[in-house]
Amino acid sequence: MTFDIIKPRAIAPALGAEIGGVDLSNDLDDATIAEIRRALLQFRVIFFRDQDITPEHHLAFARRFGDLVDYPMVHGLDGYPGIVPVIKLETETDNFGGIWHSDTTYLAQPPMGAILVARELPPDGGDTMFANMVMAYEALSEGMKEMLDGLVAVNGSAKAAVAKSRADRQKGMIEVPDALVAEHPVVRRHPETGEKVLYVNTGHTMGIRGMTEEESGPLLEFLFRHQRAEEFCCRFQWRPGSVAFWDNRSSQHYPLNDYHGHKRVMHRITLAGDTPF
């Protein structure tokens, strides 16, 4: 795939590319937006460096790719409800979403993607890992693919590790809703590329429909280990002005929690998705 306007540079063989030649504070033309979308589909996650953007710029850029949706159970910024602050304070030990996951697969229509902007960073650490779930599926044996075809995963919002990572973000909420649950294919089709995607994740997938926990547990644990194999991953080191845009339909991510005693502030916008099939 060639690009005439933007300048993608792959950061790892599996996925991820830094995009040069784009200033996100500008009103980008349709041709540039189209190339950025193509890059997202090809690389699964794309990054922009040295961006000086306001919340208004952040919102305007995100809206070029679809409708915005609220992130469940977390407040948005005052005056900008579509932007969720993702914060770890110096006194906190748990970070938000600090486990391998696809975003909010406990919803009937999980997000298409998310755009995250670095606002305040620790002096070291706080990188984010990403993994390619198309590659993870393709690396499975033919026997495993055949077995997974047609299986349906049960996903929930209350798995212990990820629920704990949200606790500090939920302080001051009037009410924390009951656990959310949704069922999705273990192997989904990407709605734009048609690729098959391994669509379970350790953050939210609780079981397989029609199986006991004893039956589904070992299978899911194998898939969770398989998904985070190094050959499917890239690691992004944040700098001030960095922006990440990931395709939540074909990737997973894991924000590393290695910067205790330091503050980290990110701003996140979530884009509406579709019903997995």
User: Has 204 been annotated as catalytic?
Assistant: no
Of residues 125, 127, 102, the one with CA closest to residue 113: 102
Length of the chain, please?
277
Sorted by sequence, the CB contacts under 8 Å of residue 192 that are 6+ apart come out as 41
Q: What is the Cα 141 distance to its own chain's centre? A: 26
pLDDT surpassing 70 at residue 87: yes
pLDDT surpassing 70 at residue 170: no
User: Has 103 been annotated as catalytic?
Assistant: yes
Whose tokens are 């486990």? That residue is 99
- Among the listed residues 44, 58, 101, 184, the single catalytic one is 101
Sorted by sequence, the CB contacts under 8 Å of residue 144 that are 6+ apart come out as none
- Among the listed residues 44, 169, 264, 268, the single catalytic one is 268
- Among the listed residues 44, 103, 169, 184, the single catalytic one is 103
Whose tokens are 């690691």? That residue is 235
- Among the listed residues 169, 184, 204, 253, the single catalytic one is 253
User: Has 262 been annotated as catalytic?
Assistant: no
Domain 7-271 fold: Double-stranded beta-helix (3.60.130)
Instruction: Give the pair of three-digit tokens for residue 72.
Output: 């469940």
The widest CA-to-CA distance across the chain, in whole angstroms, is: 54
User: Has 253 been annotated as catalytic?
Assistant: yes
Mean pLDDT value of segment 42-67:
98
Of residues 161, 156, 191, 170, the one with CA closest to residue 254: 161
pLDDT surpassing 60 at residue 115: yes
Q: What is the pLDDT of residues 201-241, one digit of tens each?
A: 999 999 999 999 999 999 999 999 999 999 999 999 999 99
Could you give the count of Cα atoms lying within 13 Å of 7 in the half-sphere of its Cβ?
A: 5
